[in-house]
Amino acid sequence: MELGYEIPARVGQTLDEICTPALIVDLDAFERNVAKMKAYCAHNNIRLRAHAKTHKSSDISRYLIEHGGACGICCQKLSEAEALFRAGITDIFLTNIVVDPVKIDRLVELTKAARIIVCVDDMSNAKALAAAAARAKTVLECVVEIEVGHMICGIPVGSEMVGLAQFIDAAPSLCFSGVQAYQGLAQHTYEYKGRKALLDAAIYKTREAVALLKAEGLNCDIIGGGGTGSHSFETASGVYNELQCGSYIFMDADYFRVQTEDGSLISNYEPSLFLCTTVISSAKPGRAICDAGIKAQSVDSGLPKVYTPAGVTYVKCIDEHGVLTDPDNNLRPNDRVLLIPGHCDPTCNQHDWLVGIRNGLVECIWPITARGKFF
Amino acid sequence: MELGYEIPARVGQTLDEICTPALIVDLDAFERNVAKMKAYCAHNNIRLRAHAKTHKSSDISRYLIEHGGACGICCQKLSEAEALFRAGITDIFLTNIVVDPVKIDRLVELTKAARIIVCVDDMSNAKALAAAAARAKTVLECVVEIEVGHMICGIPVGSEMVGLAQFIDAAPSLCFSGVQAYQGLAQHTYEYKGRKALLDAAIYKTREAVALLKAEGLNCDIIGGGGTGSHSFETASGVYNELQCGSYIFMDADYFRVQTEDGSLISNYEPSLFLCTTVISSAKPGRAICDAGIKAQSVDSGLPKVYTPAGVTYVKCIDEHGVLTDPDNNLRPNDRVLLIPGHCDPTCNQHDWLVGIRNGLVECIWPITARGKFF
């Protein structure tokens, strides 16, 4: 068998020729999204460190650095950072905690060839990082991850936090680079008031943390946070200096539920990522079955939304099948249906390729470099 | 960097040395599950065609054929079948519909080197299969997928179904092999009575289909269906002759909610698949954060259940993190936690490796051969 079967499309093919289910990127919409965020950050004088956890692609990482105004990328896992480093990305903020001794050694090794920044929320972890970096005769940049309401990782703002920063600052093999203050809960809080309340609290905590550190002579090169759903708040705060948005390049069905102050939906960004699926059965009236189920997408934030054709709704997601309602019985086997995924980040993580489309034709095929690199 | 970093463990390592999140298999429990199903099918004189959609592993497929009493395997997607065929599996029932012309040609090609059986629920699809097989000068085995209450693929039982079977039987390039009658809804219907009602209806339909076909001189070599949650019903029916169970080898948190007639939980099979995860933060009292989120598992059937340590509960699943409640504050960074995944099939699909453990040590590392092969 031909090895090419592993790749869902070839340059020049039409949408109907793509082997489905496959993730496709509308390149015009993608480029408009990237340009909008670049202009936003330039206008507001805030750095953008685009989060690669969304796309996990070295091609997109490079595009965002070269054309999207990004000063570097964020990663969420060591293996993700390693995969993107191998593909040529050399400025990586690992917005997470690394505790496994073997992983710490791998992390420290990366600092010899790239700018690597990592989060810390625990003194024993800081000591382990310092020892590993000293053994490797290198210096590791650390930011203190603080608790701003997300209740995941993060040390509460206070004296223990200051002590941790001081330890990092004093350790010859570590470099204190600032604070990580990401309020993940806020990203998908649909209602504006609820989102604002979460961000007001996070900004208050972050301001307090920066002031406590400054009082001890510790300046923050990075005061990082902000996602696609919240970044206007962090920007307006005057406290943060780096945004970590990822999803704005693609958007997803859940982000289109997030409302702005006047109750309208967030409209700055367009959907550019689609799950292309094929009808495999229309044996029952009023419904059709397509070939994209749970294995081809994540439904943790709700079902995908049908983009085309009109009148069709994706109503149920099974392991390898999707159920579509088709009241007018228009769909036939082999018809293509485009879905806006419910949640873009974990959906990308399930695929090996992104198929870039322009004017109805395949223009490029990008490997999802860090697919499955969740360790 | 060492390429070995891509593999989460090495033979001889302990659980604490595995790079997490990783899927591990308790080999003793796995082998007991396999032996139980083998004995069950032998005792009840029914064939087992174990479903590979659960594990997607060529090693496990081979083990089930050589030691588990399986007459062959089932696959759910063409790419899955191709991947397992390349790894040496040569008796494959594709329990799904294939409509894309390119995929049909690939499917037909496989028949030249393996026994391949496929489902059909539509006359135009049957004609396309017949034409492709004729062009390739081969014969493709087809079963008619019938609607038994699942409301996914499947033609309603009746005259149109008989016509489809007759067309297949008459086409020189096709071979009529029977009916596919899988009631997927029943597998995870927890309450016994509800499950029985679904199966009673499915068995009634299947019996009717077989009789209608027989009246036209069409005998069914395969009358297939039955999953881990329902197979006792199909077996007892006297109608089905092939079971397609997959999950029994691993089980998952959701299957442990399915009740037997007396209200007790299905207890024949043991959990043998675990998601091994590491605590990365315990900076807040009463909770800990582990490194296994949505990207490392599917939560479509509910959250994973903590297997060890006792007293800990997995309460929230984020993209790359899991939130654990730990009322006694026992967990520390780098501690390992074993989870029973909420849903085994899509969880396996997200991983590249299965780490086999016996007596606390890594004994084997199996690639998930058809990981991501959902097209």
ipTM rounded to 2 decimals: 0.96
Strand partners, B24: B274, B355
When CB atoms are compared, the residue of B1, B82, B295 closest to A1 is: B82
pLDDT on residue B267: 64
Tell me which residue of B357, B354, B355, B358 sits closest to B368, measured CA to CA: B354
Tens of pLDDT, residue by residue over A11-30, are 999 999 999 999 999 999 99
Tell me if A98 is assigned to some domain.
yes
Q: How many CB pairs under 8 A join A and B?
A: 187
When CB atoms are compared, the residue of A103, A122, A283 closest to B281 is: A122
- CA B312 centroid distance within chain: 29
Tell me if A32 is assigned to some domain.
no
For residue A114, list chain B residues with Cβ-Cβ distance below 8 A.
none
CATH number of the domain encompassing residue A100: 3.20.20.10
> Where a domain ends, among B195, B218, B249?
B249
For residue A278, list chain B residues with Cβ-Cβ distance below 8 A.
99-100
pLDDT on residue B49: 98
Q: Domain check: are A311 and A350 in the same one?
A: yes
Tens of pLDDT, residue by residue over A200-212, are 999 999 999 999 9
For residue B100, list chain A residues with Cβ-Cβ distance below 8 A.
19-20, 278, 334
Tell me if B102 is assigned to some domain.
yes
Reported as a pLDDT band with limits 50, 70 and 90, residue A4 is low
**Which DSSP letter does residue B16 get?**
G
Tens of pLDDT, residue by residue over B202-229, are 999 999 999 999 999 999 999 999 999 9
How near does any CA of chain A get to the CA of B208, in Å? 19
pTM summary value? 0.97
pLDDT on residue B260: 86
The rounded distance, in Å, linking the Cα atoms of B338 and B174 is 48
When CB atoms are compared, the residue of B19, B155, B371 closest to A102 is: B19
- CA B19 centroid distance within chain: 26
Reported as a pLDDT band with limits 50, 70 and 90, residue A5 is confident
- Let me know: does B88 contact B65? Beta carbons within 8 Å: no
Residue contact A101–B334, C-beta within 8 A: yes
ω before A333 within 30° of 0 (cis)?
no
When CB atoms are compared, the residue of A100, A300, A349 closest to B19 is: A100
Tell me which residue of B86, B120, B90 sits closest to B370, measured CA to CA: B86
Among B161, B319, B336, B337, most A C-beta atoms within 10 A, so best to mutate, is B319
Q: Domain check: are A238 and A302 in the same one?
A: no
Contacts 24+ apart (CB under 8 A), A164-171: A164/A120, A164/A121, A164/A122, A164/A123, A164/A126, A165/A213, A165/A216, A165/A218, A166/A216, A166/A218, A167/A123, A167/A126, A167/A127, A167/A130, A168/A120, A168/A126, A168/A130, A168/A142, A168/A144, A169/A218, A171/A126, A171/A130
Question: Cβ-count burial of A278 within 10 angstroms (0-12 exposed, 13-18 middle, 19+ buried)?
Answer: buried
Those residues with Cβ within 8 angstroms of residue B14's Cβ, 6 or more apart along the chain or in another chain: B360, B361, B362
Q: Domain check: are A110 and A230 in the same one?
A: yes
Residue contact B97–A350, C-beta within 8 A: no
CATH number of the domain encompassing residue A341: 2.40.37.20
Q: Domain check: are A155 and A194 in the same one?
A: yes
For residue B331, what are the domain limits?
A: 3-25+267-367
Q: Domain check: are A227 and A306 in the same one?
A: no
CA-derived radius of gyration, chain A: 22
Q: With left for phi above 0 and alpha for psi between -120 and 50, is residue A98 left, alpha or beta? A: beta
Q: Domain check: are B138 and B225 in the same one?
A: yes
pLDDT on residue A20: 98
The rounded distance, in Å, linking the Cα atoms of B334 and B270 is 27
pLDDT on residue A260: 86
Tens of pLDDT, residue by residue over A51-79, are 999 999 999 999 999 999 999 999 999 99
When CB atoms are compared, the residue of A96, A156, A291 closest to B320 is: A96
> Where a domain ends, among B221, B249, B277?
B249
- CA B165 centroid distance within chain: 27
Among A280, A282, A314, A334, most B C-beta atoms within 10 A, so best to mutate, is A280
For residue B152, list chain A residues with Cβ-Cβ distance below 8 A.
281, 289, 318, 321, 323
Question: Cβ-count burial of B123 within 10 angstroms (0-12 exposed, 13-18 middle, 19+ buried)?
Answer: middle
pLDDT on residue B263: 79
| pLDDT, average across residues A121-139 | 98
Q: Domain check: are B203 and B173 in the same one?
A: yes
Tell me if A375 is assigned to some domain.
no
Q: Domain check: are A208 and A234 in the same one?
A: yes
**Mean of the per-residue pLDDT values for chain A?**
96
The rounded distance, in Å, linking the Cα atoms of A117 and A73 is 10
**pLDDT > 90 in chain A, percent:** 95
How near does any CA of chain B get to the CA of A283, in Å? 6
Tell me if A38 is assigned to some domain.
no
Tell me if B69 is assigned to some domain.
no
Q: Domain check: are A97 and A207 in the same one?
A: yes
Residue B322's closest chain A neighbor by CA? A152
- Let me know: does A50 contact A93? Beta carbons within 8 Å: no
A130, A131, A132, A135 alpha-carbon torsion, rounded to 10°: 120
Q: Tens-of-pLDDT digits for all 375 residues of chain B?
A: 455 578 999 999 999 999 999 999 999 999 999 999 999 999 999 999 999 999 999 999 999 999 999 999 999 999 999 999 999 999 999 999 999 999 999 999 999 999 999 999 999 999 999 999 999 999 999 999 999 999 999 999 999 999 999 999 999 999 999 999 999 999 999 999 999 999 999 999 999 999 999 999 999 999 999 999 999 999 999 999 999 999 999 999 999 999 988 877 766 899 999 999 999 999 899 999 999 999 999 999 999 999 999 999 999 999 999 999 999 999 999 999 999 999 999 999 999 999 999 999 999 999 999 999 999
Q: Domain check: are A313 and A352 in the same one?
A: yes
For residue B333, list chain A residues with Cβ-Cβ distance below 8 A.
97, 99, 122, 124-125
Is a pLDDT exceeding 90 seen at residue A266? no
Residues in chain B: 375
Using DSSP, state whether B114 is helix, strand or coil: coil
pLDDT on residue A269: 94
Tens of pLDDT, residue by residue over B295-353, are 999 999 999 999 999 999 999 999 999 999 999 999 999 999 999 999 999 999 999 99
Q: How many structural domains are present in chain A? A: 2
What Å distances lie between residue A40 and A36, A67, A70, A261, B287, CA to CA? 6, 14, 12, 18, 38
What count of other Cβ atoms lies within 10 Å of the Cβ of residue B110? Answer: 21
Q: Domain check: are A303 and A341 in the same one?
A: yes
- Let me know: does A320 contact B324? Beta carbons within 8 Å: no
Tell me if A326 is assigned to some domain.
yes
pLDDT on residue A267: 64
- Let me know: does A27 contact A359? Beta carbons within 8 Å: no
> Where a domain ends, among A250, A283, A306?
A250
Q: Domain check: are B125 and B162 in the same one?
A: yes
Buried-state track A166-178, b at ≥16 Cβ within 10 A, e below 16: ebbbebebbbbbb
What count of other Cβ atoms lies within 10 Å of the Cβ of residue B194? Answer: 13
How near does any CA of chain B get to the CA of A344, in Å? 11
What Å distances lie between residue A275 and A249, A265, A272, B162, CA to CA? 15, 22, 10, 36
Strand partners, A313: A325
Tens of pLDDT, residue by residue over A190-233, are 999 999 999 999 999 999 999 999 999 999 999 999 999 999 99
For residue A20, list chain B residues with Cβ-Cβ distance below 8 A.
100, 375
Phi, psi of A372 (to 5 degrees): 75, 0
Residue A54's closest chain B neighbor by CA? B319
- Let me know: does A144 contact A177? Beta carbons within 8 Å: no
Tell me if B82 is assigned to some domain.
no
